[in-house]
Amino acid sequence: MPVIGLCIGLLAGVWTFEDARKRGMTSSSAGVWALGVCLLLILFLPLYLAGRPPLPATAPAPLQLAQQLLQLEEMKARGTLSDEEFLAAKARLLGNDQLTRAEVDESAALINSLLQQNRKVEALAASLQLQNKLAGQPAYTQDLRSIQAAISALGGPNPSAPMSGGRFLGGVVLFFGALMIVGALNMEVSVAFDGGRVNNIGLMNDRQNLLLLGSALGIGGLLLALLGGGRKS
């Protein structure tokens, strides 16, 4: 039975690490959660499941294209691609068709719609895509300047994110763990006997169990509060 329990703990720890990485946690955060699940499965696995971040959404097509263009720029800067190879790869991504006025207006309307929905990342990606398509078309110089100004504005700092549900839950668990520790330390473990008081083994065991449980909850809550929103660097 101990061997079976150890195998289950190890498998659960490996699954926790892989799941945490898929959800954007750093390797260190995922490793801490995996270790906690391996050592104390019954406590840390429910805490992890309750506070884990959601799976990242699939990048929209404009964002994927923008990422590919940035990768080409980096490869060119490192010397991996020559100027000719860079231009050829960029042309394959963007296509050689000239944009019509209607297509430019449609792209601009899409960007404005994304901004109104507060979808900043997607709006930035769509702006980068349109900028690269307009770069070789002198007829759209004014549009290109407007897009470049929008990109500069979108590249500013993001507003601070509110506390995640995982971190809030971690704070609650940590609070109750601390309450249990304080209650255990103030617990009376002696009983009246023959005109005096002696320690009761049963009460001492109860206090020890309460201390252990409170400590485990405190550690789990602290980890959840610190790592619940951890992302890949």
Is 159 among the domain residues? no
pLDDT of residue 220: 76
Q: Is 42 in the same domain as 122?
A: no
| Domain final residue, candidates 154, 184, 201 | 154
pLDDT digits (tens, 9 = 90+) for 46-76: 888 877 777 765 544 555 666 777 887 888 8
Tell me the residue range of the domain where 100 lies: 61-154
Is 233 among the domain residues? no
> Does the pLDDT value for residue 36 go beyond 60?
yes
Q: Which residues contact 126 (CB under 8 A, 6 or more apart)?
A: 62, 107, 110, 111, 114
Q: Is 109 in the same domain as 38?
A: no
Confidence of residue 37 (pLDDT cuts 50, 70, 90): confident
pLDDT digits (tens, 9 = 90+) for 132-166: 777 666 666 777 777 777 777 766 434 334 445 56
Is 125 among the domain residues? yes
Of 201 and 80, which is predicted with more confidence?
201
Neighbouring C-beta atoms of residue 29, cutoff 10 Å = 21
> Does the pLDDT value for residue 103 go beyond 60?
yes
Q: Is 109 in the same domain as 147?
A: yes
Residue with tokens 């008081």: 197
Q: Is 13 in the same domain as 69?
A: no
Mean pLDDT of the chain: 74
Is 173 among the domain residues? yes
Confidence of residue 182 (pLDDT cuts 50, 70, 90): confident
Q: How many domains does the chain divide into? A: 2
| Domain final residue, candidates 131, 154, 177 | 154
Residue with tokens 């169990």: 209
